[in-house]
Amino acid sequence: MTDPVTTPAPSSASVWEDFVDIFTSPSAVFDRRREGQFGMALVILAVLTGILAFALHNGLAPVMDAVIAKQQAAIMAKNPAITQEQLSSMSSMMEKTSQFGAVIFVPIFTAIGALLIWLIGKFVDTKMAFAPAMMIATYSGVPRVLQTVVTALQGLFMAPESITGPGSVSIGPARFLPATASPGLEAALNNLDVFVIWTFVLMAIGIAVVARVPMKRAAITAGLVWLVTLLPSLYQAISAG
């Protein structure tokens, strides 16, 4: 009589170990969380992002100021009758949102990413339940924490006049655009930043592991999610320009 063959259970690990392993062995993270455990990781990610946005405000402020200045110029071009008081009020709201909005916006954007993974997966045969899609969207967003730190460091050490918007601190092709480049081109190239690409590479790995599909099909799914998430910022940039 032979002993029954048993399948070893995935190794357990804390969320903090997941946050380390996502940089070194992402497949292992997605495999042990494949049932869709994402709640604590999402809470920590949102709170950590919010703390960094507040603590690194001095470094992030020059980038935010450049964004506000561009938006004010676009608003004034379309509505010359707007008052300086109204512009100042809008600027104040945007600054507060950049500092304190992460706790709200991180879960919202994560849920949007998960919804796209779930929906697009139905069409390209990488189907999964919504909870695993939320898990993938959560852990693939961890590199954004590092992006916040890198952006803040640049804001602290770069000459203020050299920071003309997010593109000027991008780790990607948008960094080399002139200040007069079209908003649409800048928005498109901002989405080729190293951290953005890193996020979607992790997403593809997660989809391949959870849906048990070839990496090529998972990459197509992640690429389509990237394309869909690009469209709103591209439309907004073109409209503003």
Note the pLDDT tens digit of each residue in 35-61: 999 999 999 999 999 899 888 988 888
**Residue 167 carries which side chain, given as an amino acid letter?**
G
Helix-helix angle 39-55:143-157, to 10 degrees: 0
Distance (Å, whole) CA 51 – CA 144: 13
Domain membership flag for residue 39: yes
What percentage of the chain carries pLDDT values higher than 70?
89
pLDDT at 27 over 50: yes
Instruction: Give the residue with greater pLDDT, 41 vs 86.
Output: 41
Q: How many domains does the chain have?
A: 1
pLDDT at 225 over 90: yes
Domain membership flag for residue 3: no
Residue 103 near residue 47, CB atoms below 8 Å = yes
Residue 48 near residue 25, CB atoms below 8 Å = no
Domain membership flag for residue 9: no
Q: What residues make up the domain containing 229?
A: 15-240
Distance (Å, whole) CA 140 – CA 196: 10
Domain membership flag for residue 154: yes
Residue 213 near residue 220, CB atoms below 8 Å = no
Q: Model pTM?
A: 0.85
**Residue 190 carries which side chain, given as an amino acid letter?**
N
Domain membership flag for residue 50: yes
Distance (Å, whole) CA 21 – CA 12: 12
pLDDT at 195 over 70: yes
Collapsing DSSP to helix, strand or coil, 153 comes out as helix
Domain membership flag for residue 6: no
Domain membership flag for residue 129: yes
Domain membership flag for residue 49: yes
Res 207: pLDDT: 97
Question: Helices in 13-167 by DSSP H: which ranges?
Answer: 15-24, 26-32, 39-55, 57-78, 84-100, 102-123, 130-140, 143-157
129 confidence band (pLDDT: 50, 70, 90): very high
